[in-house]
Amino acid sequence: DIVMTQSPLSLPVTPGEPASISCRSSQSLLHKNGYNYLDWYLQKPGQPPQLLISLGSTRASGVPDRFSGSGSGTDFTLEISGVEAEDVGIYYCMQALQPPRTFGQGTKVEIK
């Protein structure tokens, strides 16, 4: 299975300040079609996960543009340009290149 490793695991943030989460995969997620099969999800407290970004950098419908994804191969980053209170929760990366799809451990974002 492809192992996904996130850092940091905990991220205290100040509202309005930027935040960044790293995700590294044990194998390249770059498909021969040129897309990286890497998603980002946010699980808010008491809720199921919600899709933020797919294919490394494509924002899902309704996701604010303060969220952006970048990276290729084995190294990926989720950036929040200015954190808002509603952004608290646990962020997960997930690879979709090979079954089984595997998630990172999660990064807990909380307001300072």
Partner 1 sequence: ELQLVESGGGLIQPGGSLRLSCAASGFTVSRYYMTWVRQAPGKGLQCVSVIYSAGNTYYTDSVKGRFTVSRDNSKNTLFLQMNSLRVDDTAVYYCARGEADYYYGLDVWGQGTAVTVSS
Can you give the binding site for partner 1, defined by CB under 8 A? 35, 37, 39, 41, 43, 47-51, 53-55, 58, 60-61, 92, 94, 96, 99-106
Q: Least Å distance between CB 14 and partner 1?
A: 26
Q: Least Å distance between CB 77 and partner 1?
A: 17
Q: Which is nearer to partner 1, 14 or 31 (CB)?
A: 31
Q: Which is nearer to partner 1, 17 or 79 (CB)?
A: 79
Q: Least Å distance between CB 107 and partner 1?
A: 10
Q: Least Å distance between CB 33 and partner 1?
A: 9
Q: From CA 81, how far away is CA 27, in angstroms rounded?
A: 28
Q: Which is nearer to partner 1, 1 or 79 (CB)?
A: 1
39, 26 contact by CB (below 8 A): no
